[in-house]
């Protein structure tokens, strides 16, 4: 299991990388959004970021903005979004990142979620075709879906990998049943994890991104489920706090559970 820090897109990416090294993280997840980490701002510095990675013994993953919906029902907007993700893939290849994450959106006005899933699968085909050239993984993050939605998506585009956001799964269905259901359903394609806590709920305001242990998620149960599934990949600690001691404590708590449960 590799522990990662999500780079704050409001800060300086170089400083975020130095912080990750000094705090004992294995990698940096580059959140490619504004104000300071858009693809337009980061791409010119890709050679320097690759050099930092090599110098510090880290690696990268890339995270596209939450609002980018590659299943958008309006074709021109969907196509433009796919072009943006293709640019992120090019950047990810330049810095030798291991994966690029996109988000699954299944709510859009009066449109049927099945249509949105078909749209997303079509877009994923374009992205997976491009990413196959370098072996880069394209991962899809759950937002407020159930496992059944992802089963339909992966039937349509089986090359995509699953990105489990533990906090989001807890909001979709308060308690660990939904989290464990995701792990068990997709253990063979689970490739990336986001770890943060909340107190459950059913709307975006409940997505608190708390430090581990500050919400109601049963972390020992989650870790046992991940280990039982044979998970050995990346875990990014997506804790939103000005005091990064909470982020580091979350990493240490998770690693301790990983070694002892």
The pLDDT tens digits along the chain (261 residues) read 999 999 999 999 999 999 999 999 999 999 999 999 999 999 999 999 999 999 999 999 999 999 999 999 999 999 999 999 999 999 999 999 999 999 999 999 999 999 999 999 999 999 999 999 999 999 999 998 989 999 999 999 999 999 999 999 998 665 567 899 999 999 999 999 999 999 887 777 788 899 999 999 999 999 999 999 999 999 999 999 889 999 999 999 999 999 998
Q: How many domains does the chain have?
A: 1
Contact 133, 165 (CB under 8 A): no
205 Cβ neighbours under 8 A, 6+ residues apart: none
pTM assigned to the model: 0.94
Vertex 3, ends 138 and 10: CA angle to 5°?
Answer: 75
CATH number for the domain harbouring residue 117: 3.20.20.150
Query: How much is the pLDDT for 135?
Result: 94
pLDDT at position 177 is 77
The span from the CA of 37 to the CA of 167, in Å, is: 24
Q: What number of residues does the chain have?
A: 261
Q: What is the pLDDT of residue 176?
A: 60
Domain that holds residue 56: 2-260
Contact 31, 37 (CB under 8 A): yes
């Amino acid at each position: 299991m590799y522990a990662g820090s999500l780079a704050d897109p409001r800060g300086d990416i170089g400083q975020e990388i130095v912080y990750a090294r000094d705090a004992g993280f294995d990698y940096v997840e580059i959140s490619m959004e504004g104000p300071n980490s858009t693809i337009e701002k980061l791409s010119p510095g890709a050679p320097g970021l690759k050099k930092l990675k090599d110098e510090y013994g880290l690696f990268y993953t890339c995270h596209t903005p939450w609002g980018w919906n590659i299943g958008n029902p309006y074709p021109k907007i969907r196509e433009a979004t796919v072009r943006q993700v293709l640019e992120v893939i090019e950047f990810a290849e330049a810095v030798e990142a291991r994966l690029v994450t996109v988000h699954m959106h299944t709510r859009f006005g009066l449109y049927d979620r099945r249509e949105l899933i078909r749209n997303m699968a079509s877009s994923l085909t374009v992205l997976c075709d491009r990413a196959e050239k370098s072996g880069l993984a394209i991962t899809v993050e759950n937002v407020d879906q159930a496992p059944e939605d992802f089963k339909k998506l992966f039937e349509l585009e089986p090359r995509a990998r699953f990105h489990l956001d533990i906090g989001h799964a807890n909001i979709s269905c308060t308690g660990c049943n939904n989290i464990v259901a995701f792990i068990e359903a997709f253990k063979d394609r689970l490739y990336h994890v986001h770890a943060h806590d909340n107190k459950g709920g059913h709307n975006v305001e409940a997505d608190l991104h708390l430090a581990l242990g500050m919400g109601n998620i049963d972390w020992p149960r989650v870790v046992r489920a991940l280990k039982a599934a044979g998970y050995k990949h990346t875990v990014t600690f997506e804790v939103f706090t000005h005091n990064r001691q909470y982020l580091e404590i979350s990493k240490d708590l998770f690693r301790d559970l990983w070694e002892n449960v």
